[in-house]
Structure formats: C-alpha cells, structure tokens
Amino acid sequence: MDLAGPVPGPVLGIESSCDETAAAVLAPDGAILAETVFSQTEDHARFGGVVPELAARAHLARLPDLVAEVLGRARVAPGDLGGVAATSGPGLIGGLIVGAGYGKGLAMAHRLPFVAVNHLEAHALTPRLPGLLPEGARFPYLLLLLSGGHCQCVAVEGLGRYRRLGTTLDDAVGEAFDKAAKLLGLPWPGGPHLERLAGEGDPSRVPLPRPLMGRAGCDFSFSGLKTAVAQAVAKGGDRADIAAAFQASVAAVVADRARNALLMAPGATALVVSGGVAANTGVRTALAWVAETAGLPLVAPPIRLCTDNAVMVAWAGIERLRGGLTDPWDHAPRPRWPLDELTA
C-alpha cells in the first residue's frame, strides 16, 4: 500500500471539528478495534444549524468519557498506544481546541507521538483504509470531497501531496442541500430529509438549472440552483418533485465535473468520493456510471464513514506515523487549513 515504517501500537483518533464528538482506536494495520460517535444534531436542530459555542461545550463534556470507552472496548491501555491523532483543522476553532488539546495532553502524559490531522486529508486517505479495496486504494487517485463545508476535486498523488483541480465558487454541495431542504420546509440537517422526499417525486416535472455543466474545468456553483428552488417553491410546485429535481441536478453536475477532473488527473487508479454528501444514493449512482465509463473502480466509504468520524482520523494518523511524520506540542489548531498547504 505504498507504506513506509511500522507503527508500534494501536492509534487513538479524536474528531471534534464540528458537531460530532468521536473517538476510535485502530490497530497498526488499520483494523478497527473500537469506535464511537456522539452526535449533537438534536442540540443544534432547533437553531437550524450548528452553534459553535454549544458544540465546543459538548465536546468538552463528552470527549473524556468517549476516549475512555473506546480504549476500554479495544482493551488498550493509554500507555500501550502507538500514537494519538486528533483533528486540528479545518473546522470550528472551539471544537478543534478541545479535541487537539485533549489529544496532546494524553500523548504528552504517556510520552506518545502526536499527529495533528488535517480533516480534509483524513477524508482523502479514507479509501486507503483496508477493507474498502483488497489492498486499499493506491496512489494516485481522484478524490471528490463533497460535504457541508467543502466541495473539491483533488488529485491525491501521495501522502501529503494533494493537487486541487477545482472547487466551489459559492456554496458547498452539502450546504446547498441544507438550504434547499430549508426552502422545502424540511428539518435540519436537510440532506437526508431531502433525499427521502426526492424518492417520492418526479424530477422531470420541475425544470431546474445545472450550473456549469458542460463547461471546461471542474469548478462547482450551486447558488443559482438554490435560487431556482426558491422560485419553484414560491410558485407552489410539488415539494417532492422539487426535491427530486434538485437532487437530479446536483448528481448530474457532480458527474459532469468528475468526468472533467479525470481528464485533468491522468493515471488515476480510482474515482473516490468522500464527505457527507457521498452518502446520497443519487450522487453515488451518477458517479458509479462515470467510474464505469472510465474503466475505474468507484471507492466510497461505508455510510457511517462518510460523515465526520474518528476512524478516518486514526487512519490518517497511522499513515503519517508510517511516514515518520509527527507534530510538536505547540502545533496550533487552524480553522482554515487548505490541503495544498500540507507537506510530507
């Protein structure tokens, strides 16, 4: 799997970049020994989105017990760990400070290596987790990172070697799902609710635009599509048909951008989709067709590993530890941390 040195013991991963408090322990070969996630969705739903201060306080209250839980289930003492990996950006700074601070404290107390994980890199390396492919995805591959905060096409050329080919010019795709769902009167988070409603509708009954489709490059734009949804709702259109048309437009645009991105990343061994929107069946189906046409496998994580989780953080830690890459105690969490600023 293009890997270097061994990791001396299991690795603890901590994720606290937004509204999921998560911890996981992975064996050095990537086997999942224990994982857990505490979702704060109910706490933020009444506000229609994540409240950073509430999220940070919840991370602070829950994280110690979650770490103790996964270590106990994995039957691993803190001192027997091979390292601690914690998300250190990008994300909400309060949550990042809690998770990274706790991880550094644990590593320092037990004299363990510490890895400050870039959340985007964790998504990018997830397809290399053993079990998704017989030997994990081999470099290089094309990543479509589709989430509430990010929408990017990235050529993953190696550990710490990421070339961004395109990104959104306005809304991220997950953000567009949430905004469209809100216009349709659906609860937050809107993506899963919109997908269920779309299953009851006919996309052909509501004409919606497909922004940038057919144009060169692989940038994205979703603000115009959101406006078109608002206009369709104002005209009294059937909610299920509007949801179905919105989802069909997004899937078509993502597929079109993926085709262009593959032309910009010759030699890719796989088409990879990751992030929360990777759980959408319409998007997965469209990308499966693109991959099949290109003669490549489509690699998509299990649904539970599409959204924020600590398994991907621990795995990114293992990858970096194998490459001899650790971080100092004074590494500061970063609310913004582009992938192309990473070096290995």
Do the annotations mark residue 15 as ligand-binding? Answer: no
pLDDT for position 2: 44
- Counted residue by residue, the chain has a size of 344
319 is in an annotated binding site: no
Q: Tell me whether residue 178 is annotated as binding.
A: yes
Map residue 188 onto helix, strand or coil: coil
pLDDT of residue 15: 98
- Give the Cα separation of 141 and 262 in Å (integer): 9
267 is in an annotated binding site: no
Predicted pLDDT at 28 = 96
CA angle 20, 249, 121 (to 5 degrees): 35
pLDDT level of residue 133 (50, 70, 90 thresholds): low
Residues pairing with 117 in the sheet: 87
Round to whole Å and give the CA distance between 171 and 153: 15
C-alpha 118/C-alpha 154 separation (Å) is 15
Segment 47-58, tens digit of pLDDT:
888 898 998 999
CA of 30: how far to CAs of 130, 156, 339, in Å?
6, 20, 23
DSSP state of 179: H
Annotated binding residue 145: yes
82 is in an annotated binding site: no
**Is 59 assigned to a binding site?**
no
Q: Which of 8-12, 152-156, 278-282, 340-344 shows the lowest mean pLDDT across its residues? A: 340-344
pLDDT at 283 over 50: yes
Distance from the Cα of residue 334 to its chain's centroid: 17
pLDDT at 130: 87
Confidence class of residue 150 from pLDDT cuts 50, 70 and 90? Answer: confident
According to the annotation, is 129 in a ligand binding site? no
CA dihedral 225, 229, 235, 239 (to 10 degrees): 150
Q: Is the pLDDT of residue 304 over 90?
A: no
**Structural contact between residues 240 and 200, judged by C-beta atoms closer than 8 angstroms:** yes
330 in a labelled binding site: no
Percent of all residues in the chain with a pLDDT value above 70, rounded to a whole number = 97
Do the annotations mark residue 340 as ligand-binding?
Answer: no
Q: What percent of the chain has pLDDT over 90?
A: 82
Residue 3, pLDDT score: 44
Are 114 and 327 in contact by the 8 Å Cβ rule? The answer is: yes
Q: For the chain, which domains are there?
A: 11-128+305-341 (3.30.420.40), 141-300 (3.30.420.40)
Q: Quick one: pLDDT band at residue 306, thresholds 50, 70, 90?
A: confident
pLDDT in tens, 190-222: 999 999 999 999 999 999 999 999 999 999 999
